[in-house]
Amino acid sequence: MPEPMGFYTDTTVCIGCKACEVACKEWNQLPSTNGGLNTLSGDSYDNTRKLDGIHWRHVKFIEQFTEDRKDGRWLLMSDVCKHCVNAPCLEVCPTGAIVRTEFDTVVIQSDTCNGCRDCISACPFGVIETNPVSGIAQKCTLCYDRLQVGMEPACSKACPTDSIQFGTIKELRETANQRVAQLQKAGESRAYLYGADEKMLGGLNSFYLLVDKPEVYGLPPDPKMPTRNLASGSWFSLLGAVLVGLMGVINFRNRGARVEGREEQP
Amino acid sequence: MNTVPSSTFFSAPPDWGWLIVFYFFFGGLAGGCYFLAVLIDFFGRDEDRPLARLGYYISFPCILISGLLLTLDLQRPLRFWHMLIESNTYRPIFKYWSPMSVGSWALLLFGIFALLSFLGALVEDNRLAWPAGRKIRPPTMLGRMIGLIGGIFGFYVAGYTGVLLAVTNRPIWSDTPLLGMLFVVSAASISAALMILLAQRSRWTMPGLVALHRIDTWVVALEFLVLIGVMISLGPVFRAWLNAWGLLLFFGVIVVGMLIPLALYWRREWLGDRNVTTAATLVLVGGFILRLLIVFSAQGV
């Protein structure tokens, strides 16, 4: 059994070249345009805008500038499926299309998915969307086909600055912790790891080094499992049914007496 | 997006649209009418039996429509059976922790019970010549068993959709545990309203109909309280409704769908003969707007 594999993304060395996006599309044969639609965002170098069914990698461009634009910085982050250890998408998928692989990654089987889209609303990171070409929910597979033959995923292979690193989770966490210590020693006290431990959905097998709050990068500060509401929601529903049932029993049993007493007619 | 009221604001909308809104409405009617029909069968008198049959007549077509709507909503409709059978092993798939998985089975099983009760009602009305059909209508033991089990599935079909929305990571849907309860109570209110409307049209005057009026009044009042509970439980996420959706919630759901019908049910003399039918119609309209609002508003955030 192989060790759990994943990505460690050091956002501080991302230069926004989008080689990862291109490599991903090329290897996975994803369309470069959405149904012939090739629109520019108009206000950013980021024309991909979000992860979806045909964009499995997305380099986010976050501008942090003062009003007069004399001071500022770019935050760049190559976003991807987090391959959560406790994966919300896998949890809710009714068809069994979403599976955990031998590499501890999360993959949607394209021949099983029927496009119900439950996984889309379950993913707290907004990673999954429908691929308009195939009509099914799709996302990063962490290049499952390449992993099976001992190859590195296309995106990390293409990354020129090693912002995206691929390896075993154990090794990646060691590397990431050393990098955080290095940055903090150099004065970047804001550096921290997002999703590198079990506290967040059992651990993200694609985790990040960030230098600002998660929300700034479009990441949820406290992602949760969708089933957190299952028990309470079910009990409240049952309570609703009991109350409606009681109302029915009381009224259908008493209506004869009330009709006579009040001469009530429909 | 530097400050957000909940971590749910980073998820993507599943693009569930009008087909799902109509499914929530017809599914609620199917489950709710069956639930009420069983209550009438079990606790009503003999003269109320036409009212129970009316419930079964509504329930079965509504569950058929529901199945059709859900299938059409799939991006790959021909794979609808993947909800029940694992496509690569051909074994049944059932995930008790996934409301959509349990709901798929519940729809199938409820459909069978709704069909049996529908056929039983036809036989009792002498519209279907099937002598054995009398055995599947209460008060026979078999009829009672069908009603009891079908009624439980009916309740489930009426309410699981709310729990399904709660078991996601979308804003509003997953920020309250009360949507399932709201859908169950709302299913009862719209079902009672539809049964009242159709019974009035047939100029029925059985005592069970009076009871149904009173039930609808109580249930709409309960629905109002549950809706207030939903709004409170949303906490800071409630601000997602401080826009046109909030106006629709207030005027479309609360005023048109709850307060005016309650006033009309209590003040019978206001519109004379049309009082009850107007109230029932408004309850149906409000119930539809409620589902529309919940489906679309959470996806527009």
Is the CB of B202 inside 8 Å of chain A's CB atoms?
A: no
Q: Residues A240, A212: one domain?
A: no
pTM: 0.94
B residues 94-113 lying closer than 8 A (beta carbon) to A: 95, 97-101, 104
Q: Do A252 and B208 touch (CB under 8 A)?
A: yes
* pLDDT confidence of residue A265: 43
Q: Is B209 on the interface with A (CB under 8 A)?
A: yes
**Interchain contact B82–A (C-beta under 8 A):** yes
Average pLDDT over residues A240-261: 77
Rounded to the nearest 5°, which phi and psi values hold at A165?
-115, 140
Size of interface A-B (CB pairs under 8 A): 241
CA torsion, ordered A233, A237, A239, A240, to nearest 10 deg = 140
Q: Which of A218, A244, A249 sits opposite B1 (nearest CB)?
A: A218
Nearest CA in chain A to B168: A122
Mean pLDDT of the A226-237 span? 97
Interface contact flag, B1 A234, Cβ < 8 Å: no
Q: Which residues of B touch A223 (CB under 8 A)?
A: 7, 10, 169
Give A262's pLDDT tier (boundaries 50, 70, 90). Answer: very low
Nearest CB among B76, B101, B210 relative to A135 is that of B76
pLDDT > 70? residue A36: no
- A98 has pLDDT over 70: yes
- CATH number of the domain where residue A212 is located: 3.30.70.20
Per-residue pLDDT of chain B (301 residues; tens, 9 = 90+): 457 889 999 999 999 999 999 999 999 999 999 999 999 999 988 889 999 999 999 999 999 999 999 999 999 999 999 999 999 999 999 999 999 999 999 999 999 999 999 999 999 999 999 988 899 999 899 999 999 999 999 999 999 999 999 999 999 999 999 999 999 999 999 999 999 999 988 888 888 899 999 999 999 999 999 999 999 999 999 999 999 999 999 999 999 999 999 999 888 777 777 888 999 999 999 999 999 999 999 998 8
Q: Which of A158, A111, A167, A120 is nearest to A139 (CA)?
A: A120
Nearest chain A residue to B44 by CA: give it.
A252
Average pLDDT over residues A106-125: 98
| Together in a domain, A257 and A132 | no
Shared domain for A246 and A116, answered yes or no, is no
| B226 backbone dihedrals φ, ψ, rounded to 5° | -65, -40
- Domain boundaries in chain B? 15-297
Q: Are residues A200 and A239 in the same domain?
A: no
The answer to whether residues A178 and A79 belong to one domain is yes
Helices in B74-166 by DSSP H: which ranges? 99-124, 141-166
pLDDT digits (tens, 9 = 90+) for B251-276: 999 999 999 999 998 887 777 778 88
Omega within 30 of 0 (cis) for the link into A124: no
Do A145 and A20 belong to one domain? yes
Determine the residue of chain A that is closest to B83 in CA distance. Answer: A95
CB B141 within 8 A of CB B130: no
Question: Residue A79: helix, strand or coil by DSSP?
Answer: strand
CB B27 within 8 A of CB B104: no
Query: Beta-carbon neighbour count of residue B2 at 10 Å?
Result: 7
Q: What is the pLDDT of residue B257?
A: 97
Cα nearest neighbour of B52 on chain A: A252
Instruction: Domain B15-297: give its CATH superfamily.
Output: Formate dehydrogenase/DMSO reductase domain (1.20.1630.10)
Residue B40, chain A, CB below 8 Å: the answer is yes
Which among A88, A247, A259 has the least Cβ separation from residue B218? A247
**Chain B residues closer than 8 Å to A135 by CB:** 75-76
- Select from A213, A229, A243 the Cβ nearest to the Cβ of B167: A229
Q: What is the pLDDT of residue A56?
A: 97
Cα-based distances in Å from A55 to A132, A215, B169: 11, 21, 21
Q: Is B205–A266 a contact, with Cβ atoms under 8 angstroms apart?
A: yes
> Is any Cβ of chain A less than 8 angstroms from the Cβ of B267?
no
Residues A157 and A30 in one domain: yes
Contact, A26 vs A154, CB < 8 A? yes
Taking an 8 Å cut-off on Cβ atoms, the answer to whether A88 and B169 are in contact is yes
List CB contacts (< 8 A) between A111 and chain B: 87-88
Give the domain extent around A91: 5-224
Q: Do A68 and A172 lie in a common domain?
A: yes
Per the listing, tokens 């069956």 go with B34
pLDDT (0 to 100) of residue B207: 84
DSSP string across A10-56: EGGG-----HHHHHHHHHHT--SSBTTB----SSSS--S-S-BTTBS
* Chain A nearest-CA residue for B202: A266
Write out chain B residues lying below 8 Å of A234, CB-based: 163, 180
> Cβ contacts (< 8 Å) between B214 and chain A: which residues?
251, 255, 258
Tens of pLDDT, residues A162-213: 999 999 999 999 999 999 999 999 999 999 999 999 999 999 999 999 999 9
A171 shares its domain with A132? yes
Q: Which letter does DSSP use for residue B203 in this model? A: T
B 135-174 residues inside an 8 A Cβ radius of A: 155, 158-160, 162-164, 166-170, 173-174
Q: Is the pLDDT of residue A33 over 80?
A: no
Number of domains within chain A:
2
Whether the per-residue pLDDT at A258 is higher than 50: the answer is: no
Q: What is the pLDDT of residue A254?
A: 63
DSSP state of B132: G
Model pLDDT, residue A264: 43
A253 versus A151: the higher-pLDDT residue is A151
CA pseudo-torsion sign A202, A205, A208, A214: negative
Q: How many helices (H) and strands (E) does chain A have?
A: 7, 10
C-alpha to C-alpha distance for A202 and A83, rounded to whole angstroms: 11
- Distance separating alpha carbons of residues B81 and B115, to the nearest angstrom: 20
Q: pLDDT confidence of A69, banded at 50, 70, 90?
A: confident
What is the distance between the alpha carbons of residues A21 and A35, in angstroms, rounded to a whole number? 18
Name the residue type at position A210: L
pLDDT band of A261, cuts 50, 70, 90: very low
User: For residues B204 and B48, what is the distance between their CA atoms, to the nearest angstrom?
Assistant: 10
| B54-to-A244, A255, B30, B287 alpha-carbon distances in Å | 19, 19, 12, 20
